[in-house]
Structure 1
């Protein structure tokens, strides 16, 4: 009778078969738990949006920014799901994002960087500037992706104080609505402790 070979010298086919069997057993067990799912077409419609306190976060950012920070009103059904500080062209910039009632998303970024700098730094997608959009008294430059319609469109406006950037996948009507509310928003008031504290005077010494 031939001597049995050590397992290290056995055909790797045995190991592959064992792994396949183990994987099948694990997959079957997990499927019964209902804790695993796969849906390549899953979107934000598949679950609730987790809101964030954009008002509090933008209020704190307003104290740190060298320009007026705004938080625009939004329609019913829009949910703020992101608010944070990012960096654009070497400067800090607050950004807030919403999931709209139509399950698209829009983001509003405020910065001292130019519109062109923001567009160049946004991502690796090629965009072209198309006809501007006039909303109220503000003319927004508009940049659309080239050959990639699912990517973000960018609206940009610069004043002497600040640059406003609106990005997202929403339709033009929702872009215009947010742009209008941004222009109408009042800058967040920042308390200045020195102005709120009564001046302390030292009595003159008695003669």
Structure 2
């Protein structure tokens, strides 16, 4: 006579007792490998990544065919990312982007490009937006592209270059940064 139960008599209780050791083994391996943690209060913010804005913008100034500005970031702002992209379209061109984290933990994007304003806005927003307002900051007009439930984008024409600032920053932060951009002189190529 067979010592095992017939398959028809096996149930979920038997399966549960078989899975418990496997689950415990997986948890032990994950714990030893430091790949899991227990945080009853939810996730916590880690350190902000750093980006060498000086080296990034100096390199862009040498490589790109338009004036690159290096504005003095407000106190407490930390550059955390940088990239270069090609904007396609009838008035496309190159772009240089640097991201900042403000002391309030908000992200502010700073993009410089020789592309046309419409292509630049479309590239950043991923959709067609219309101008909703303007701001005059230190004698320069910034066109505001805003939509409900979307981060505002501010664009100004600096002649050979269009500059876009935007992100989750509030109006005061964007105004402060727009002032810094207006005061910045182009870097030497």
TM superposition score category, shorter chain reference: 0.7 to 0.9
**2:109 corresponding residue in structure 1:** 107
Report the RMSD for the aligned CA atoms in angstroms: 3.3
**1:136 corresponding residue in structure 2:** 138
Structure 1's 181 and 28: CA in aligned 2 closer, same or farther, altered over 3 A? same
**2:55 corresponding residue in structure 1:** 56
Where in structure 1 are there 5+ consecutive unaligned residues?
191-207
Structure 1's 164 and 11: CA in aligned 2 closer, same or farther, altered over 3 A? farther
Where in structure 2 are there 5+ consecutive unaligned residues?
none
Contact 1:141–1:157 (8 Å) recurs in 2: yes
Count of aligned pairs between the two proteins: 184
Contact 1:132–1:139 (8 Å) recurs in 2: yes
TM-score, normalised by the number of residues in structure 1: 0.73
Larger Rg: 1
Paired with 2:166 and 2:140, the residues of 1 have a C-alpha distance of 16
Deviations 1:73-118 (Å, cap 9, x if unpaired)?
0121111111221222253211111111111111111111122212
**1:36 corresponding residue in structure 2:** 37
**2:94 corresponding residue in structure 1:** 92
TM-score, normalised by the number of residues in structure 2: 0.79
Paired with 1:102 and 1:35, the residues of 2 have a C-alpha distance of 29
**1:153 corresponding residue in structure 2:** 152
- Indicate the SS of the match to 2:81: strand
Paired with 1:127 and 1:112, the residues of 2 have a C-alpha distance of 19
Q: Which has the higher contact order (CA 8 A, sep 6+)?
A: 2
**1:119 corresponding residue in structure 2:** 121
**1:83 corresponding residue in structure 2:** 82
Contact 1:126–1:145 (8 Å) recurs in 2: no
